[in-house]
Structure 1
Amino acid sequence: MLERNPIFPGIIELNFQAREVLGCNVYLIYDANEWALVDIGYEETVDEFVDIIRQLDFPLSQCKTLIATHADVDHIQGLAKLKSILKTTVTAHPHAVRPLAEGDPLWTLAEIEAQNLKLEMPKVDVEHQVDNGDIIKVGNLEIEVWHTPGHTNSQLAFRIGDVLLSGDNIYRDGCIGAIDAHHGSDIKAFIKSLERIRDSDVKWLAPSHGPIFANDRDFMNRTIDRVRGYLHMADFGTLAESWPLMDQWDDEVAEGKLPEGLSG
């Protein structure tokens, strides 16, 4: 048996527990013998995670549910396999239901033809749909559900006391989850989600990738300011609101204006 090494009371991160990064962060939330998982990652690592859970002496039959932060392949490809092993349920946001049930390779980013990426995306049904303000109970532990769209429209975060399991909203280096229209990204919504995290009294952010870090207002503001700039840049194409450069170009064309030092 392994000695349990929780990062917070009632919360174990399985990669940290194993002292080996096997994939995305997988959080085991427990009270007494009842437990739940937040995300699982790729199918190929499911057996390793199950072995860790066994060694931690959590009864497999006492898994209340498997919770998906969102419907991206690197978080949920292993859901169908793990659900079958544990004979439990899946919990996710309503916007994740169809991509998961259909195994949609585009919406889950399992298939990106331009990058020659093609991963299997096993279909899995969602028994429990949760949305902002809902409470998931594990034993006597209460998990508050936050809907934090932006990275995807199904992105959830989960508050437990002073810690927020913050999904792909933000990482310790100030980066955010990929902005891609193919899986429901929305820059305006992302800004609101980041502002919500910044303005909360949550002390710690436990993301879906990388290390845990403190919720610091100045740090959050730097990222929010950068992301707000994306609304007026060409970097993310149709997800931007405007491109001021094109307004400038209209004026310069009308005026016949060229850069200083260049004459037509």
Structure 2
Amino acid sequence: MLTRKPIYPGVIELNFQAGEVLGCNVYLVYDQDEWLLIDIGYEETVEDFVEIIRLIDFPLSRCKTVVATHADVDHIQGLAKIKQILKTTATGHPNAVQPLRTGDTLVTLAEIKAQNLHLTMPPVEIEHEVNDGDILRVGKLELEVWHTPGHTNSQLAFRHGDLLLSGDNIYRDGCIGAIAAHHGSDIKAFIQSLERIRDSDVKWLAPSHGPIFAKDNDFLNRTIDRVRGYLQMADFGTLAESWPLMDQWDDEVAKGILPEGLAGS
């Protein structure tokens, strides 16, 4: 058996526990022998994570559920497999139910033809739907469910005391979860979710990728300001609400304006 290495009372991150990064962050939340998982990652690493759980002496039969933070393949490709091994249920936001039930490779980002990315997405049933304000109970421990859309429309975060299991909302380097229209991204909603995290009194953020870090409002404000700028950038296509350059172009065309020093004919 291995000595447990919790990152916070009642919370173990399985990559940190293993001493090596196997995939996305997988959080085991527990009280005594009862426990649940938040995310599981790719199918190929499921058995590695199960072995870690065995080695830190959690009875496999005591897994209450496996929670999907959202419906992206790098978080939940192994969900059907882990459910079968643990004989447990899956939990997620209502917006995650259809793409997971159907194994939708487009919405889950399992297939990106332009990059020759073709991953399997095993269909999986979500037995328990949760939404903002719900409580997940593990023994006497309580996780408050936050619906934090933006990265996807199914993105969830979970509060436990001073810790927020913050999903793909923000990482320690100021990056955020990928913005892509076809898996439910929404820039305005993302800003609101980041503002909610900033305005909360949580002290620590435990993201779905990378290291745990202290919440810092100045840091969050810089990210929020950057993301707000995306609303007026052509880079983000249909997710942007305007492109000010085109208003300038309209005006310059009407007035016949060219850059100084450029000889028009």
TM-score normalised by structure 2 residue count? 0.99
Q: Which amino acid aligns with 2:244?
A: P
Q: What number of residue pairs does the alignment pair up?
A: 264
2:63 corresponds to which residue?
Answer: 63
2:8 corresponds to which residue?
Answer: 8
Q: How many angstroms apart in 1 are the aligned matches of 2:186 and 2:6?
A: 34
2:217 corresponds to which residue?
Answer: 217
1:104 corresponds to which residue?
Answer: 104
Q: Which amino acid aligns with 2:132?
A: N
SS in 2 for 1:97: helix
SS in 2 for 1:106: coil
Aligned pairs (5 A) from 1:19-168:
19-168=19-168
Deviation of 1:263 (Å): 2.3
Q: Which amino acid aligns with 1:255?
A: K
Q: Deviations over 1:49-103 (max 9, x none)?
A: 0000000000000000000000000000000000000000000000000000000
2:257 corresponds to which residue?
Answer: 257
Q: How many angstroms apart in 2 are the aligned matches of 1:68 and 1:56?
A: 22
Q: Which amino acid aligns with 1:60?
A: L
Q: How many angstroms apart in 2 are the aligned matches of 1:126 and 1:2?
A: 32
Q: Deviations over 1:32-58 (max 9, x none)?
A: 100000000000000000000000000
Q: Which amino acid aligns with 2:223?
A: T
2:228 corresponds to which residue?
Answer: 228
Q: Which amino acid aligns with 2:34?
A: E
Q: How many angstroms apart in 1 are the aligned matches of 2:115 and 2:81?
A: 26
Q: How many angstroms apart in 2 are the aligned matches of 1:189 and 1:227?
A: 11
SS in 2 for 1:175: coil
CA RMSD of aligned residues (A): 0.3
2:207 corresponds to which residue?
Answer: 207
Q: How many angstroms apart in 2 are the aligned matches of 1:70 and 1:148?
A: 10
Report the identity percentage.
80
Q: How many angstroms apart in 1 are the aligned matches of 2:68 and 2:121?
A: 14
SS in 1 for 2:35: strand
Gaps of 5+ in 2: none
Deviation of 1:158 (Å): 0.2
Q: Structure 1 residue runs of 4+, over 3 Å off?
A: none
Q: How many angstroms apart in 1 are the aligned matches of 2:42 and 2:251?
A: 51
SS in 1 for 2:201: coil
Q: How many angstroms apart in 2 are the aligned matches of 1:134 and 1:26?
A: 21
TM-score normalised by structure 1 residue count? 1.00
Q: Which amino acid aligns with 2:186?
A: D
Q: Which amino acid aligns with 1:3?
A: T
1:172 corresponds to which residue?
Answer: 172
Q: Which amino acid aligns with 1:251?
A: D
Gaps of 5+ in 1: none
Q: Deviations over 1:192-216 (max 9, x none)?
A: 0000000000000000000011110
Q: Deviations over 1:202-236 (max 9, x none)?
A: 00000000001111010000000000000011011
SS in 1 for 2:178: coil
Q: How many angstroms apart in 1 are the aligned matches of 2:263 and 2:191?
A: 42
SS in 2 for 1:66: strand
Q: Deviations over 1:152-192 (max 9, x none)?
A: 00000000000000000000000000000010000000000
Deviation of 1:260 (Å): 1.1
SS in 1 for 2:153: coil
Q: Which amino acid aligns with 2:180?
A: D
